Structure formats: C-alpha cells, structure tokens
Structure 1
Amino acid sequence: MCRRPRAAWYDWVNTGAKLTEDERQMTSGGWRGLLQSREGELLLDLVYVLVLTRFSERLVEDFTTDRRVVLPEVGQTALLLLALWLVWVHAALVTSKYQTEDPVIQLLIVFTMFGSLIVAVTLPHAFGQRAVVFAVTYVAVQVGKPAILLLARRDRERRRPLRHFCWGAVSAVPWIVGAALFPQSPERGVLWTLAITLDCAGFILGWPIPGLGRTRAEDWRLAGAHLAERYQQFIIITIGETILLTGMTFADEFTPDRVLPTVMSFATAVLMWRIYFHRAGTVFPAAVEAAPRPGSLGKSGFYTHLVMVTGILATGVGYALVINEPRGHQDPLWLAVIFGGPALFLAGRSRLEYEVFARVSPSRVLGLLALAALTPVMVRRAPVIVTSAAAVVLIGVAAWDGIREWRYPDEAPSPPR
C-alpha cells in the first residue's frame, strides 16, 4: 500500500485536502467556535455516566437472575441501550452542526439532558412498572428535539428537523401503545422492537418523507472534528463507568479474594483506553475533518462506537460479576460477557482503524482469534482465571501496538477515503 510521509499526511489533514473552498472555510474557520463553550455537552455526558451505570446495574441483574429469563432480559437491555445511544448521537450531530452558544441549541441540550436523566431513573424497570414513564420520556425527547429546531428555523434548513419530527411521531405510536396497553407481556417487546427499528431506520436512511426528500450523510455540513471528539468523549466516559462499577462492587465487601479480579478489571479498563487511542483513535477527529464528506465518516462512527461501547460495558459487567462472586459457580453466560466484551471492543476498534487508515493491524485480528480459541478452554475454569485470560489477551494487543510504534515511529496512515 502506498503511504504518504508522516509530515505530508499531517499537512494534508491540516489543509483540508479534497474540500471545496466553501467547505474549507466552513470547517476550519466559521465553525471553529463549535470547539469552544462545551459546558452543556459536558453536563450531558455527566448525565450519561448515570445512564451507563444504570445499564450496567441492569445487566448485572440480568446475569444473576433465573437462567430461563436471562436471554430475554439481555435483549431488552440491548434495546434500551440502542434507544439511548440514538438520543446521544443525535444530540452530538446537532452540536456539531450549529453553534453551541445559540440559546436554541442550549435549550435543546438541557432538554435532552433532563429527559436522559428521567430515562436513567426508569431503566432498571423500563420493561416493568416504569414502562409508561420511560416510553413517554423517550418519545418526548425524540420528538421534542426536532420540534425545537423546527420552531427556531425559518429557512430551508427546516426540512431536516421536520423529517425527523415526522419519523419520531410515527415511532411514538408503538412506544406508547406497548407501554400503556401491554404491561408485562411479550407484545410490549414486539412493539418496542418495531419502534426502535423505525428510529434506527430513520436515522440511517435520513428520515425520508415523500415530497421533502431525505437527509443523506454525504450532505451533512458538520464540524467533523467536533463530532469525532464527541465520540472520543463517550468512549472515555464508558471506560470511566467500568472503573466506577469496579470500585462500587469492590467497596461492597472489601475482602482479599476480590483483590485480583478488581486489579484485572482496572487493568482491562486502562488497556481499552490505550488500545482505542493508539493512532487511529487519536487522529480520528483530524481524519473526519479532512475527509471529503465528514458527515459520511462521522455517521459510520455511529455503528463503530456503538459496538465498542457495548463491548466495554459488557466487559465491565463481566468483571463486576466475578468481583461480586470471586469463588462463584462456573457459568457459561458469564464467559459470554467476560470474553464477548473484549471481542466486541476489538471488532469495533478494527473497523475504526480501517475507516481511518484503510487497514487493520494484525494485533486486532490476533486478539480476536485468541479470544475465540480460549473460549472452549475456559468453559470449566474458575471465573478469576477467565478474567485474567481476557486481560492477558488485551495486554498482548497493547504490547504489539507499543512495539510497532517503537520500531516504526514514522509510519504514516493512508488518507481517509
């Protein structure tokens, strides 16, 4: 593969190669203020620390309940995670398109923040007694955000929030009906699956409406670096949440047999941070900014980072289970999260590297193969041994990255596609 020299690649990034003159001014000049005044976004991220903690608590409960209901419970939790991920990503897209100093945008952030807080409170019982509160709040956020933008705009830009509003109004029907008319029944799960499918389809397709068209990712005019940094920030708070969960679990019962899994959990969080920000994670904002269509690359981060966030959360839950019961029974479902979490993280990180560098490091592939090969071997092993094996695999991946960086310090990536 032909590669540019390292210095030349950074010149290419910094000058915004392949951008038109209008796009170059918009990205590097007029929208530079988007990188300032982030207090509202930081507050939103703090609310999502609570959201992620509640997700982890729900997952821990899922894997410690009766075996007959574990898989449906995990599916419900995954549905809720996807719903809240859509809320956060749309807020990130809005703050990457409009000036955050605008009172309307600040109102939208506060509105999203409060709605996310209420949803976080309802999460453990969202499929139970708090279903109506969850559904009404989620729908209010999904419909309210485009409504705020729609009322504030008086130009052709009104079409985008109008399309989003229409799709949100349609998906609101199965959300509300499922919560209000089908308490504690499979029908609620079916209706909510339909609802989240509509929400995801609208986001992916650009909320197409007859006569109004759709919003393609390629047409989004975004501050690409800002959007990429928002993804980075979410990865950081997710890793931070796993450390918080580790500390809270260890603090419940401070005993010697919990020390090793606690150390392994903390080490794994640090390793994931190191692996994510090794090269591709670090230059991701510059890559999005310099891409011919920042919206397209930024939108692909929706899938990539969702996989990594899921993997990080699953890993933290797996370690929390072991810390809570270091001498516990050998449960194959625990193995699924202890090994499946790092596997999802490495898979998402591999896609991110391909998006930025148009290649994948062998360490990522070898890490995934190692986890797959160790899975049948670890079925009958003690949980502490399983967590240690997962940590060793990540140590190997991080060590490979460090050695390669030391041996080839000037190796440069290919430009974004």
Structure 2
Amino acid sequence: MSDGVEPAGAEGGESAGEEPAEKRVSYAEAFFDLVWALCITQVSGLLHLDHGWAGVGRALIVLIPVYWCWVGSTVLANAREIDHPPGRVGLFAIALCGLLLALALPQAYGSRGLLFGAAYLAARWLLLGQILWGRGVVVGPMGVGAFVTGPLLLAGGLVHGNARIALWGLAAALDLLTPRVARRQLMAVRFHPTHLPERFALFLLIALGEAIVSIGAPVAAGRALRAGETLAVAVAFVAACGLWWVYYNYAADAMRHAMATSRLPGDIVRQVLSYGHLAFVSGVIAFAGGVTAAATRPGHRLQTGSLALLFGGCALFLAAFGYTRWRMFRLVAWTRLVAAAVTLAATPLCAALPGAAALAVLAALLVALNLWEYQRVERSARHRV
C-alpha cells in the first residue's frame, strides 16, 4: 500500500471512536478500473512474448508501478469521498495516465519507455495533488512516488537496455518497500472496512477476466474451430473457475472479516490487501500467459516456459493464501499450501503431455482442492450443530 491520507480525527474524516459508515464501490471507481484491465492485458502480453526468467522479471518490474498506482488511487477513494464532480475528474485524470501506461507497455523496454515513465510520474503527481488538496493529511508514502520512484522511472525511459532495467527495477523495489518503512504513518489512517476488500476483490476479478480472454480470444480468432481446441477451452475455463472459487467462496469473506475486526486495520491493508493481492494478481497473470499456448495448440506439448507459467502461476496463487491467512488470523492454510506444492510437483510430470492433458491435470487439482475444502467446511458445520 503506497498512500497516506487522512488520519483518524482529521478534519473531513470520522472523529476518534466514531464508527465509519459503510462505503461501497462507486460507478466512477468501477469505470476507473476498466483502464487497469487493459494494463493487465498488456502485462500478460509481455509474458506471452517471453516466457523465460528474464521476461518474467521484466513483466514484474512494470507490473509493480502499474499496480501501485491503482493501489494509491484505491486508498485515496477509500479515505476520501470522491463521488462528486471534482473527485471524479481527478480520478479520471489518473485513469488517463493509466491508459497511457497501457499504451506504453507493449514497447516499454523499447521505443515507449519514456511514455511509460512520464505517465507513471504524472499519475503520482496527480495523486499527490489530490492528497494535498485536503487538510489534515498524512502525505508520507505518496511523496516517495512523486519525488523518488516517479523520477526514477522517467530517467529509465531516457536510457536504454540494462540501464533502463536497473533504474526501473530500483523504482519497483522502492515502491514495494515504502509501505513497510512508512508503517507508523499509515497506522494513523482511518479506513472504511468494507470498501477496500471489495475493491481489491474486484481488481482480482479483472485479472481473472484477462485469463478468460487469454483462453478464448486466440482460439476464436483462428480460421477453423477444431474439436480439440473447443475441449481445451472448456477445460481451461474449468481451471479458471477453480481459481475463482478458491478466492471468492471463502477467502473474500475472511478478508472482509479481518478488516472489520482487526485492531490494526492498516496492517491488513498493507500486508493482506496490498502485498497479498499483488501475489494473487501476479499468479493469475502468469496463468493467463501460459494458458494461451495450451488452448491454441492442445495436441502439442507445452514449451517449458508456458508450462512453468501455467502451473507456477497457479501455485503462486494458492501459496499466497498461506501468507494472507497467517497475517490475518495467525493460522496456517495447510490445504492450499499442500495444493500449491502438489501443483509444482505436477509441473515436470506434465511436460510430456499434450497441452490439453496438462490443462486437465491442473483443472482436476483445482477442482479436488475446492471439493476437499467444501467437505471440510460442511463437516465442521455439522459438528457445531
């Protein structure tokens, strides 16, 4: 989490001891998120072009500032009332920067690096301006984006090759570290407990939507639709549904509960929502980057990079629940951690299988996980009666 806004008791916010009214996602915020859907698509496209470790690293370096811009805007909209004309204009101005980021992403390491850095810096300055516009505001982490990481990205856009990667990598690392370093300031922020979990859940839904596009769009664009491709798309969709179920059937409610009941909601925002959802989104983007090859060439073996993205992305998604559950409740998510380990172990075993068969193995693992958790919850509920 990379923003500081109004502290508890600040003018314009709730007074100390007063419960914040329930806040829901506005239509302006939902429209704003559509721009970031395009950014997710472009990052997934970078992975599709380069499945190697270097490609994964470059995709992560540009994903982090894109994601952190979204997080900053989301926290601002949570702690401030933005559903009025000036607030909407400010939000849409940041959305325009997001659109420019999306336009720059396909050639971010080539001819559009300067556009990427300039768009990020402009978004950071717009966020800082909206924070300074209010009173009683903790500027803190937002200033790092405007004065440090933003200029680093802009400078990276002016150089080429390894120099750009080094500057942008440093900026991404600083973006990640800033909320941890500024924890004391962020603890003073009063958050609306229902709004933020809903926004982050919707952002993850955007990433899952990109996975659906990656499954169906390349096959639909082909000249002929073969039975094998149709079957592969169906199996891939089952896998995507499995990922959806893992999060939205139980975890989404758990995160809302943790946010509403925690003595330190700022830590939930920082650790579970911001950092945890970066892992969730990264896992889904990796899954989307690998699923295209399996769906479009179901009868061929997957290349090592595609196979690693497909299974590794799912494993990262599942393992992230181990981190978030521990941060929320100091409990170990054994079933999901074991499922992540089994998914990783299955990766080399599926190297000799056609793409459709590898997808079927992955889908079966996710379905089995969800069935097991459902049965555990049902047994626990019967024992409590």
Q: TM-score, normalised by structure 1?
A: 0.82
Counterparts of 1:54-133 in structure 2 under 5 Å? 54-63=42-51, 70-133=52-115
| C-alpha distance in structure 2 between counterparts of 1:237 and 1:172, whole Å | 25
Amino acid at match of 1:72: A
**One-letter code aligned to 2:165:** G
Kept in 1: contact 2:140–2:185 (CA 8 A): no
Q: After superposition, what is the alpha-carbon deviation per residue over 1:72-127, rounded to whole angstroms, capped at 9, x for unaligned?
A: 22211111111111011111111111112354432331122111111111111111
Within 5 Å, give how 1:24-39 maps onto structure 2.
25-27=18-20, 29=21, 32=22, 34-35=23-24, 38-39=26-27
**Mean Cα displacement is larger for which, 256-265 or 358-367?**
358-367
Q: 1:188 aligns with which of 164, 169, 194?
A: 164
- Tell me the distance in 2 between the aligned counterparts of 1:358 and 1:393: 26
- Structure 1 residue 262 corresponds to structure 2 residue 241: no
> Residue by residue, what CA displacement relative to the aligned partner does 1:261-314 show, whole Å, maximum 9, x if unpaired?
211211111111111123232232232022112111111121111111111111
How many aligned residue pairs are there? Answer: 368
- Matched residue, 2:31: 43
Aligned to 2:375: 403
How far did 1:162 drift? 6.3
2:260 equivalent in structure 1: 289
Letter in structure 2 aligned against 1:93: V
CA separation of 1:373 and 1:164: change in aligned 2, threshold 3 A:
closer
* Percent identity between the two aligned chains: 24
Residue 193 of structure 2 is matched in structure 1 by 224
Asked if 1:170 is matched to 2:122, the reply is no
Question: Matches of 1:74 and 1:330 in 2, distance apart?
Answer: 17
The answer for the alignment partner of 1:339 in structure 2 is: 311
The aligned amino acid for 1:396 is: A
Distance in 1 between the 2:44 and 2:201 partners? 20
In 2, Cα distance between the equivalents of 1:391 and 1:178? Answer: 41
C-alpha contact 1:265 1:316 (8 A) present in aligned 2: no
Q: CA deviation at 1:221?
A: 0.9
Would you say the 8 A contact 1:245–1:316 is kept in 2? yes
Alpha-carbon distance between aligned partners in 2 of 1:44 and 1:162, rounded to the nearest angstrom: 24
TM-score (norm 2): 0.89
1:246-257 equivalences in 2 (<5 Å): 246-253=215-222, 254-257=225-228
Gaps of 5+ in 2: 1-13
State the partner residue of 1:365.
337
Structure 1 position 142 matched with structure 2 position 106: no
Give the letter aligned to residue 26 of structure 1: E
Unaligned segments of structure 1, at least 5 residues: 1-20, 64-69, 207-213, 413-417
CA–CA distance in 1 between the matches of 2:50 and 2:365?
Answer: 26
Task: State whether residues 197 and 252 of structure 2, in contact with CA within 8 Å, keep that contact through their aligned partners in structure 1.
Answer: no
Query: Given the alignment, which residue of 162, 175, 182 partners 1:199?
Result: 175
- SS state of the match for residue 19, structure 2? helix
Partner of 1:211 in structure 2?
none
- Please report the RMSD computed on the Cα atoms of aligned residues, expressed in angstroms: 2.2
Give CA-to-partner distance per residue, 1:187-223, whole Å, 9 cap, x none. Answer: 11111111222222323322xxxxxxx7533222111
Cα 1:100/1:91, change in 2 over 3 Å = same
Distance 1:334 1:298 in 2: 33
Aligned to 1:353: 325
User: Which of these two proteins has the greater Rg computed from alpha carbons?
Assistant: 1
Q: Please name the residue that 1:66 is paired with.
A: none
The residue that corresponds to 1:6 in the other structure is none
